[in-house]
Amino acid sequence: MESMKLQSTFETPAVSLDFEAGRLEFTGRSLPEDTTNFYRPILNWIDNYIQNPNLKTEIDIKLEYFNTATSKVLLNLLSKFKNSRDVKVNWFHYEEDEDMLESGKEYEELVKIPFSFQTME
């Protein structure tokens, strides 16, 4: 399975979907009004990945901002791993950004997979 890499833009995050390492990374900001075009290939990649996943999967969410349209996609994306074994979400936030931390806690409650909360510089 091919890995996938996308550069960040003003309104979309840098994305790295690494099949070999079992690591999915989202870094930056996600503000697109229409999330379909940007996230469809990513969701497709994940659908394929969970058919034949790595022994261990880590999902790094290092977002500074995301809009409500993204918040829906994020729930959809993380929910895909509900029945996967050995999956962990590393949810990053800036130290003072209590809102981002709280968002992470909400997703942890909603998707019921293990989360680890970490600060970023």
Partner 1 sequence: MTMDMNFDKFSNLKTVYELHKAMEQNQVIIAYEGEFNSNITQSVLTLAEKNLDQKLEKSLSKRRAFNIAVECLQNISTHSDRNSAFPNSIFIIGQEGNEFYISSGNTIKQSKVENLQKKLDQINNLDPEGLKQLHMQAIKESLKEEESSNAGLGLISIARRSGNKLGYHFVSMDSDNSFFSFQAIFLKTEETS
Strand order in the sheet with 57-66: 4-6, 14-18, 23-30, 57-66, 87-94, 115-120
Q: How many residues bind partner 1 (CB under 8 A)?
A: 27
Answer for the pair 105, 67: CB distance below 8 angstroms, yes or no.
no
Segment 52 to 111, residues that bind partner 1, using CB under 8 A:
64-65, 67-69, 71-72, 75-76, 79, 94-100, 102, 106, 109-110
The one among 6, 8, 11, 88 contacting partner 1 by CB under 8 A:
11
2 is an interface residue for partner 1 by CB under 8 A: no
Is there a contact between 20 and 3 (Cβ–Cβ < 8 Å)? Answer: yes
| 2 vs 109 by CB, closer to partner 1 | 109
Rule CB under 8 A: is residue 47 a binding residue for partner 1?
no
Segment lying near partner 1 (by CB under 8 A), choices 32-40, 42-50, 55-63, 84-92: 32-40
Is 19 or 65 the residue whose CB approaches partner 1 more closely? 65
DSSP code for 22: T
Q: Quote the Cα angle for 22-107-99, to 5°.
A: 115
Place of tokens 């901002």: 65
